A and B are shown apart, each in its own frame.
Chain A
Amino acid sequence: MRVMAQVAMVMNLDKCIGCHTCSVTCKQAWTNRAGVEYVWFNNVETRPGQGYPRTYQDQERWKGGWELKRGRLRLRSGGRFKRLAQIFSNPLLPTLSDYYEPWTYDYDTLISAPLGEHTPVAQPKSLITGKSMKIEWSANWDDDLAGGPELAPKDPILVKIRDQVTDRVKMEFEQAFMFYLPRICEHCLNPSCVAACPSGAMYKRAEDGIVLVDQDQCRGWRMCVSGCPYKKVYFNHRTGKAEKCTLCYPRIEVGLPTVCSETCVGRLRYMGLFLYDADKVTAAAATENEHDLLAAQLDLLLDPNDPEVQAAARHDGIAEDWIEAAMASPVYRLAKVYKVALPLHPEYRTMPMVWYIPPLSPVVDALRETGNDAEDAGNLFGALDSLRIPIEYLAELFSAGDPAPVASSLRKLAAMRSYMRDVNLGREPQASIPESVGMTEESVYEMYRLLAIAKYEDRYVIPKAHAETARGLEETACSLDGDGGPGQYEPGPFGSASGRPIPVAVETFHALKERQTSEVFVPLESIRVNLSGWNGRGGRDES
């Protein structure tokens, strides 16, 4: 056994309202640059829908992730020799049109156009060619089922289940159900992007499991892009290097949640640690039957409360506060204790580490439409048994097509909903409801606190990175209360702010932390850009 720690995420899909705030803030933070205009490390796609890039889930076509070949795990795109043979032109690489052609608008004409009869129009201009263009697709063109009857049926998942059960799906699809799926890199335990990289520039961090691209070592062979079944590695066409979601590691290292989590208005994201057995990952990913992959993945996650696991973790160099954080981890509870969170597409065999609590709302909505009490346990359970379509669809996403885990997760959510309704209405709580889904009244209540109350400190349990340089952190942080007041650095040898730069995240870390944990408003003097004086052009008006 070799114990390793993994920073993981759980998203509670019932709460996602599809507002795209996570996508926008991530973009502002990380991909607001030339070369990655089309890149969304975080995207929110409407399901049913084609996703971004279009139909990325169709692995018959894109051949991402792993497959079993004669009982052995192999990249779906072929062996190492085949990959090198195809290096001069990668047949599986999506082109820009599979994502979309990024554009801006010619805003200048709005103010510079001469006085005339017609209102001037800001034409869309391609950010790739600079020419006028027709906008035909985007990262969320089919948002909210836009273009429904035409576009949504091309959803690879719908295509797959339609092949299995022809007309029933079609029929029930017309009474459309819909939910949102926010996606980031899965920071997989068995990352196929890393395995596909010919230069060895991609790696998984031993301390926290974050998957990164070494920008100095990437040589632009672009095999990782096609290797990832979730298409979450992107090619920067300006620099010729691969880029991907970093799980906001500079924030994680100082104990803050990622930008996308922090800014989520639905507060639906949870972050914490898993302890897992790194020695067993390959064997788990090579589980024969696709339906057993979820169980195999859960088996990898070790119980942080088990003294043996703790001893092994200590032996493998995991620090005490990390073990404690693992014990308090919300993601461990949701995935392994309550078993309500499920991984996205376990059948890709990458052992993804962003988990999802499937949405109960399509079921509740359908039930409500029939005029029934949608919060009654009996009605909900009955609906879960009879409403096969949402469940089959969800099962294709979260459990390799096996409806049992999805149904079980939804039953628990339904049980929580009905049980807590009685509590909140001051009625006699019915112990039989939790029992019917194999839970106790206490655990349902705890789950309710985590999912419904969802306090900040319960959602995010992120231990700070350990480094013997932690002292350095204190030292630079202290300069904030130095002579010149917040944000003023000691003058360096070549004038002010020369010498060793102060890391960005550290500079604002204390201010941010204080603001987030304080009851009262904390002004952010130490943040350098003051938005109230910002002129929208990257500077500020001096007035």
Chain B
Amino acid sequence: MSAQDILLWVALPYLTIAVFITGTFWRYRYDKFGWTTRSSQLHERKLIRIASPLFHLGILAVVGGHVMGLLIPEGWTSAAGLSEDAYHVMAVGLGAVAGACTLAGVSLLIYRRRTNGPVFNATTKNDKTMYVFLVAAICLGLVTTIIGSGVIGDGYNYRETVSPWFRSIFLLDPKPELMAESLPSFKVHAVAGMLLFIIWPFTRLVHAFSAPVLYLFRPYVVYRERGPHDPGSRAPRRGWEKVGS
């Protein structure tokens, strides 16, 4: 095992976790006002009607797939009566569909961002950087799926190497050697994924943390007390306030 392996499969994961957690906390603490989807539907509605649901449903399925594949040990699914082969077919099938939807969705979204004048104008540098990392992670993910599935070359059971490594990080008992022996495509995808998580808290992707599930449980009409500020004004904020004009 080389120093590079330690760096990539021990140091980088912990760095990712640290930045992801503290970054999100910091952003929430100091930039609640910037915490939004920054929807562009006001500018364009026809393309987004297809692109956004396609992408989001795809990516949510992909997230679900990762949870299944990485967090649930192979032993559990076998114990539940699911053979490795059956699991593999299911995972590759669903994964490919979800991945394809995500890729199609994200391509349409980017096409829309690029070609629609008002939407393009509303695209920040931050958005562009985010899309680079996001698309890289998605494309490399699809490549790994194709390679790992055995469609090209031999199939590869990542649940014997990548998944235990992933869990070992969270069990605070990192096993970089497992990752070191996996396929290069998995390695590149894992690094791309970690980089995406490192920038995540600083992009519009934070909106995913606000998925409004509590909406299902609250009363329709919300009342609030006026709060303790002086009448006639709200309390002054910390620091400078930007006026967007």
Contacts and interface: CB of A to CB of B under 8 A. Distances in A.
Interface of A: 32-35, 80-81, 83-84, 87-91, 93-96, 128-131, 190-191, 194-195, 197-200, 202-208, 215-222, 235, 237-241, 250-251, 253-254, 464-465, 467, 469-470, 472-473, 476, 500-501, 503-506, 509
Contact of B225 (A206, A222, A250): A206
B232 A129 contact: no
A222 B232 contact: no
B228 interface: yes
A57 B183 CA distance: 60
Contacts of B233: 250, 503-506
B41 A222 contact: yes
Interface residues of B, number: 50
B244 interface: yes
Nearest to B224: A203
A237 to B, nearest CB: 5
Contacts of B229: 467, 469
A215 B39 CA distance: 15
B222 A194 contact: yes
A118 B45 CA distance: 42
Nearest to B243: A33
A467 B231 contact: yes
B222 A203 contact: yes
B228 A467 contact: yes
B118 A221 contact: no
Interface of B: 32-33, 35-45, 48-49, 51-53, 55-57, 117-118, 121-122, 207, 210, 212-216, 218, 220-226, 228-233, 236, 243-245
Contacts of A205: 223-226
A220 B33 contact: no
A33 B232 contact: no
B137 to A, nearest CB: 20
A29 to B, nearest CB: 14
Contacts of B41: 89-90, 93, 95, 222
A222 B41 CA distance: 9
Contact of B117 (A91, A131, A204, A220): A131
A17 to B, nearest CB: 31
Given A128-B43, A203-B224, A240-B39, 20 more contacts: A34-B244, A34-B245, A88-B53, A90-B41, A96-B118, A128-B118, A129-B121, A130-B121, A131-B117, A199-B212, A207-B225, A219-B212, A222-B39, A222-B41, A250-B233, A465-B231, A465-B232, A472-B230, A501-B236, A506-B230
13 contacts: A81-B216, A84-B212, A87-B212, A88-B57, A96-B42, A129-B118, A199-B210, A221-B212, A237-B42, A241-B36, A250-B232, A250-B233, A467-B230
Nearest to B116: A129
Contact of B42 (A95, A207, A217, A253): A95
A131 to B, nearest CB: 7
Nearest to B46: A95
A95 B48 contact: no
A31 to B, nearest CB: 11
A500 B230 CA distance: 12
Contact of B223 (A93, A206, A253): A206
Given A241-B33, A501-B236, A33 B224 contact: no
